[in-house]
Structure formats: structure tokens, C-alpha cells
């Protein structure tokens, strides 16, 4: 906390010295966005909304538009390999899809089974009511308690959209959480989901057999992750989930197009501050962004820079000059996750199932007691719906999640005769712990870091919320309109249509 506070003081001091308050300030000439994942592309869209047509927006992307939203082709169909499911209450994602004319593809309810290394300790029935009876029989009212916890969080969290549609923005995640949900929300990033659920009376057995397996599948981690990312992960196991027909990454390319940006296929290597005297003698700050396009170096000057890529030691080597190194104090790392798509027949004996009937589960989660080579597996739905019935069991495509690439022997034990295999490697999201500090969104006067949000929780919607927040912050700080920054009380009558 200390470092973050000190850093804020320096930022504050430097604006106090150099920035004369001008409400009639000219609009910025140019803005750089670094990264064209959902964070970068949605911030380009919001920046265009708030700064108007007069500003040039350059978006840098070193690899492919979409970033961690990506698809792969297997057996003639395309499947999501990165971020896949979207919750019905994710309002920014919903708005993007609607605005871009993209279809929401509803996902079929899955049949879940929980594997503990020997057998299924829990298996969904086809009948809702039987499921409830099974859950109550084994776990008492824990399932209901969890549902209530998650839903009450969700309802309160929706207030973030009220703040954002009213134009309010925050300089840190803690201030945002405080505004939205008071001390209780701030505490969510300081204690674990485990503790949070135990506090509402949920049993260890339910935590081990239901909660932890869901968290392992969505975050690759156990119940020691912070309560915010934990609760959002539990939401990913809700019903009514959807994804974008044709692939979630279409949202990114669509937003960039609608924001009329210049897309630069280049890797940003460094950012430093420049001062330039204006005609009236006043000094203005600019950011010089150096990049390589192929092997050609290039550079350009910007009034505002939005960093929309993860920054941590070893990845995204962007060097900062004359800017307090914003990331080096942060020692956390990103978690590797391997997504293996396999077309073929799953070996039910692998999961201790020896019956001769059809294999019913479509999502398999694992407890922390299972040996850990796989985190879970689920039947994957192609990004374009295929007309007709469900494919026969052995013609399905499974998505297997593991912390390391599956060993040859492991894969052939799980799928004795696979028709096709495709492996994707990700640095998926931060390795969470409940003692994490969340880095600030503001790195320098007009330099912002979207992915600081990820240290609280990393989902498409959270990145879109961060993007909207950064665009508002950039706007208000540019025009010195600070009354809507870090304001934690929403004026009466601020309503949002849900």
C-alpha cells in the first residue's frame, strides 16, 4: 500500500506544478492504445465516444487482434480457445454485440460431474428437481447459500454501470470497489473466497467438492484466490451463459472498426516523456512511443497513452523512461494454462466410469485431490451453430484444461484414438492470492494501465469496465474536470436501464 500511495503523491505533485487549470483546454491531438485485446479495443471505442472525431487514435498490436480471445479450427469447425463464456448481466459485452450486430449464441446447459481422482463424487442428473434433492442430500443448504452469495454480489456490483453511465471514474481498483460496494467490496480483494463462503456457513465438503472444482476449471487455482475473482468465477458456472456467434474476437475487430482507429501492427518497445514548449511559452508533456514494425523501428508522439496489455516481469517488455517504473514493484506472475482441443471418443474409465451406458457428463471438473494433470474438461460448442442434432458422443470436440501440456501417454489414455488435436498455450491471468495489491490505473499524468484491473479479476467484462473507466479518467484529467473522479457517492436520480 505504501508504495502505491507514495506514487500517487508524486503524480499529484507533478500535476499540481505543471498543470494550470484550464477548462477551455484544446482537445488532445493523438492517443495511443497499446494492445488490441478486448481491453484495448473497447478503450479505443470509449475514447472515441468521449473525445470525439477530432483526435487520432493509434492502436498498436504486436500479435493478433483479439489477444486472449482467439479461436482454432479442428475437424472443420472453429472453437474458442481463450476467453469463452459471457454472463447475461455483462452489460458492456452485451452492448458491444448489439451495437456491432453480432448474435449472442446461447450455450446449452451442461451436465456436470466432479472427479476426485478415483470416481465422480457428484454428477448432475437430467432433471432439475433431482439435482436439487441430490445437492440437499449431500450438502444441506450449501448450494442455496452459495447461490445467494453470488446473486447478492451480482446485484450490488451492477451499480458500477450506474457510476459509469453517469461519467464517474476511479483512479484505483480499491476506490472503484469502495464506490460500488463500500468496505465490504474492498475487503473482497483482501480475503479468500474460501473464507468468504465459510463465513456465510458453507461447509468444507461443499467447498472441496463443488466450489474448488469450479475455480480450478475457470482460474486454474483453488479457493485461496481473492473473493472477488472467486465470486466472478462462480458466475461462470451459472446458466444462460452466451458467447458471440462467429467468435468473441469479432467484438475486438468490430470495436476497432467502429472507433475508426489506425491499427499499427507493431510491438511497442518503450515510452518516454517529452516536454515541448508551445507558442505561448507553456510546456506541454507528450509521450514518445517507440515500436518495431517487422524489423523497422518507428516512433510517434502522443498526448495520452493507454496500456492495454499485461505488464509483468518477463512479458511485454515495454521500457519506461522518466516515468517511475510502474510495474517493477509488482512481483506477481501470470499463470500458464494449456487448452487442448480434442476431437474423439473420451475414455470413461479414465474417470473411473466402467458402466456400459452412454457417457453423460459434458463438463468434468476436478477436486484438488485428483492428481492434478488435468484441471477439467468440457464439450466444446463451435463458434457457428451446426444445424441438426447434437453430434454423436464420439464426434464431439472436448476442451481439456491443464496447467502443463498433456504428456503423450496422458492424452492417449484420455482419448485412445483422437481424430484431431489442437493445443493452445496461454499466460491466462495473474496467479492470484488474497494478499495481492492491485496496481494503480494511473501511471503518469496521462498514462493509464487497464490491466491493473486483472489483479483483482480478469474477465472480458472486467476489462471492458476498466476500459470505460480509463477513457473517462483520461477525459476528465485532460480537461481538468475532476469532480467526477474518485467520487464515491452517486448523486440521487442516477439510474441506468438494465
Ligand X SMILES: *[C@@H]1O[C@H](CO)[C@@H](O)[C@H](O)[C@H]1NC(C)=O
Ligand Y SMILES: Cc1cc2nc3c(=O)[nH]c(=O)nc-3n(C[C@H](O)[C@H](O)[C@H](O)COP(=O)(O)OP(=O)(O)OC[C@H]3O[C@@H](n4cnc5c(N)ncnc54)[C@H](O)[C@@H]3O)c2cc1C
Please give the Cα distance from 437 to 497 (Å, whole number): 33
The pair phi, psi for residue 333, each rounded to 5°, is -130, 170
By CB under 6 A, which span of 76-84, 109-117, 345-353, 357-365 interacts with ligand X? 345-353
CB nearer to ligand X: give 222 or 290: 290
Binding to ligand Y (CB under 6 A): which residues in 18-47? 34-40
In 10 A of CB 187, how many CB atoms? 16
CB nearer to ligand Y: give 38 or 211: 38
Q: How far is the CB of 71 from ligand Y (least distance, A)?
A: 12
Please give the Cα distance from 338 to 71 (Å, whole number): 14
The region that residue 201 occupies, defined by phi over 0 for left and psi between -120 and 50 for alpha, beta otherwise, is left
In 10 A of CB 5, how many CB atoms? 10
Q: How far is the CB of 90 from ligand Y (least distance, A)?
A: 7
CB nearer to ligand X: give 201 or 416: 416
Alpha helix stretches (DSSP H) within 330-434: 408-414
* CB-based contact 1:174 (threshold 8 Å): no
The pair phi, psi for residue 259, each rounded to 5°, is -85, 0
User: Which among ligand Y, ligand X, none contacts residue 34 (Cβ within 5 to 8 A by kind)?
Assistant: ligand Y
Q: How far is the CB of 456 from ligand Y (least distance, A)?
A: 11
User: Which among ligand Y, ligand X, none contacts residue 207 (Cβ within 5 to 8 A by kind)?
Assistant: none
Q: Would you state the cell numbers that stand for residue 152, as one nine-digit string?
A: 447478492
Q: Is position 337 an interface residue for ligand Y (rule: CB under 6 A)?
A: yes
User: Which among ligand X, ligand Y, none contacts residue 413 (Cβ within 5 to 8 A by kind)?
Assistant: ligand X
Q: How far is the CB of 310 from ligand X (least distance, A)?
A: 21
Name residue, grid cell 472503484: 176
In 10 A of CB 305, how many CB atoms? 27
By CB under 6 A, which span of 24-32, 79-87, 353-361, 390-398 interacts with ligand Y? 79-87
By CB under 6 A, which span of 164-172, 241-249, 344-352, 472-480 interacts with ligand X? 344-352
Q: Would you state the cell numbers that stand for residue 51, as one nine-digit string?
A: 473525445
Please give the Cα distance from 135 to 366 (Å, whole number): 17
Binding to ligand Y (CB under 6 A): which residues in 168-207? none
Q: Is position 329 an interface residue for ligand X (rule: CB under 6 A)?
A: no
Binding to ligand X (CB under 6 A): which residues in 97-156? none
In angstroms, the first-to-last Cα distance of the chain is: 35
Q: Is position 372 an interface residue for ligand X (rule: CB under 6 A)?
A: no
Residues 140-169: x where in contact with ligand Y by CB under 6 A, - otherwise, as a string: ------------------------------
Q: Is position 51 an interface residue for ligand Y (rule: CB under 6 A)?
A: no
- DSSP E strands in 61-193: the ranges are 71-74, 77-80, 104-106, 112-115, 120-123
Q: Would you state the cell numbers that stand for residue 21, as one nine-digit string?
A: 487549470
Q: Is position 273 an interface residue for ligand X (rule: CB under 6 A)?
A: no
Binding to ligand Y (CB under 6 A): which residues in 345-364? none
Angle (nearest 5°) at CA 377 between 375 and 378 = 145
Choose which of 413, 419, 431, 496 interacts with ligand X (CB under 6 A). 413
Q: How far is the CB of 453 from ligand Y (least distance, A)?
A: 8
Q: How far is the CB of 461 from ligand Y (least distance, A)?
A: 6
Please give the Cα distance from 390 to 397 (Å, whole number): 11
Q: How far is the CB of 40 from ligand X (least distance, A)?
A: 22
Q: Would you state the cell numbers that stand for residue 101, as one nine-digit string?
A: 450486430
CB nearer to ligand Y: give 85 or 221: 85
Binding to ligand Y (CB under 6 A): which residues in 439-458? 451, 458
- 32: β partners: 58, 305
Q: Is position 416 an interface residue for ligand X (rule: CB under 6 A)?
A: yes
Tell me the pairing of strands 56-60 and 447-449. unpaired
Burial 261-284 (b: 16+ CB within 10 A, else e): bebbebbbbebebeeeeeeeeeee
By CB under 6 A, which span of 57-65, 118-126, 350-358, 368-376 interacts with ligand Y? 57-65
- 249: β partners: none
User: Which among ligand X, ligand Y, none contacts residue 297 (Cβ within 5 to 8 A by kind)?
Assistant: ligand X
Choose which of 299, 301, 384, 481 interacts with ligand X (CB under 6 A). 299
Binding stretches for ligand X (CB under 6 A): 270, 290, 297, 299, 347, 349-350, 413, 416
Binding stretches for ligand Y (CB under 6 A): 34-40, 60-63, 67-69, 82-85, 236, 267-268, 308-309, 316, 318, 337, 339, 426, 428-429, 451, 458-461, 463
Amino acid at each position: 500500500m505504501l508504495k502505491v500511495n507514495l506514487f500517487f503523491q508524486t503524480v499529484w505533485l507533478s500535476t499540481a506544478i505543471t498543470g494550470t487549470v484550464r477548462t477551455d483546454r484544446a482537445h488532445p491531438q493523438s492517443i495511443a492504445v497499446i494492445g488490441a485485446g478486448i481491453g484495448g479495443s473497447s478503450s479505443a471505442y470509449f475514447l472515441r465516444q468521449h473525445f470525439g472525431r477530432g483526435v487520432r487514435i493509434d492502436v498498436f498490436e504486436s500479435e493478433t487482434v483479439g489477444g486472449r480471445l482467439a479461436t482454432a479450427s479442428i475437424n472443420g469447425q472453429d472453437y474458442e480457445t481463450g476467453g469463452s463464456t459471457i454472463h447475461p448481466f455483462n452489460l458492456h459485452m452485451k452492448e458491444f454485440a448489439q451495437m456491432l450486430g453480432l448474435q449472442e449464441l446461447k450455450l446449452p446447459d451442461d451436465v456436470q460431474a466432479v472427479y476426485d481422482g478415483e470416481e465422480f463424487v457428484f454428477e448432475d442428473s437430467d432433471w432439475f428437481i433431482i439435482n436439487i434433492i441430490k445437492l440437499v442430500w449431500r450438502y444441506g443448504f450449501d448450494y442455496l447459500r452459495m447461490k445467494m452469495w453470488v446473486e447478492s454480489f451480482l446485484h450490488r456490483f451492477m451499480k458500477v454501470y450506474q457510476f459509469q453511465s453517469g461519467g464517474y471514474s476511479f483512479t484505483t481498483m480499491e476506490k472503484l470497489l469502495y464506490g460500488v460496494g463500500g468496505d465490504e467490496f474492498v475487503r473482497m480483494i483482501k480475503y479468500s473466497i474460501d473464507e468468504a463462503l465459510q463465513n456465510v456457513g458453507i461447509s468444507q465438503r461443499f467447498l472441496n467438492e463443488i466450489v474448488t472444482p469450479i475455480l480450478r476449471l475457470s482460474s486454474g487455482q483453488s479457493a485461496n484466490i481473492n473473493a472477488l475473482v472467486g465470486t466472478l468465477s462462480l458466475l461462470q458456472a451459472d446458466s444462460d451463459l452466451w458467447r458471440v456467434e462467429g467468435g468473441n474476437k469479432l467484438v475486438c475487430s468490430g470495436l476497432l472498426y467502429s472507433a475508426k482507429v489506425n491499427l499499427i501492427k507493431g510491438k511497442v518497445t518503450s515510452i518516454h516523456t517529452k516536454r515541448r514548449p508551445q507558442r505561448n511559452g507553456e510546456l506541454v508533456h507528450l509521450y514518445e512511443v517507440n515500436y518495431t514494425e517487422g524489423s523497422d523501428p518507428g516512433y510517434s508522439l502522443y498526448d495520452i497513452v493507454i496500456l492495454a496489455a499485461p505488464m509483468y516481469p518477463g512479458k511485454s517488455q515495454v521500457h519506461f523512461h522518466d516515468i517511475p517504473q510502474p510495474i517493477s514493484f509488482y512481483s506477481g506472475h501470470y499463470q500458464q494454462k494449456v487448452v487442448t482441443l480434442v476431437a474423439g471418443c473420451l475414455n470413461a474409465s479414465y474417470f473411473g466410469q466402467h458402466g456400459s451406458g452412454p457417457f453423460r457428463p459434458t463438463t468434468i471438473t476436478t477436486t484438488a485431490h485428483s492428481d492434478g494433470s488435468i484441471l477439467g474438461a468440457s464439450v466444446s460448442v463451435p463458434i457457428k451453430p451446426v444445424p441438426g442434432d447434437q453430434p454423436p458422443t464420439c464426434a464431439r470436440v472436448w476442451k481439456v484444461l491443464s496447467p502443463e501440456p498433456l504428456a503423450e501417454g496422458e492424452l492417449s489414455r484420455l482419448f485412445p484414438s483422437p481424430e484431431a488435436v489442437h493445443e493452445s498455450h496461454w499466460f491466462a491471468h495473474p496467479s492470484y492470492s488474497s494478499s495481492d495489491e492491485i496496481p494503480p490505473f494511473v501511471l503518469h499524468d496521462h498514462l493509464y494501465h487497464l490491466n491493473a484491473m486483472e489483479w483483482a479479476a480478469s474477465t472480458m467484462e472486467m476489462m471492458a469496465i476498466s476500459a470505460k473507466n480509463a477513457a473517462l479518467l483520461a477525459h476528465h484529467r485532460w480537461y481538468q474536470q475532476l469532480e467526477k473522479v474518485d467520487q464515491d457517492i452517486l448523486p440521487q436520480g442516477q439510474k441506468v436501464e438494465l
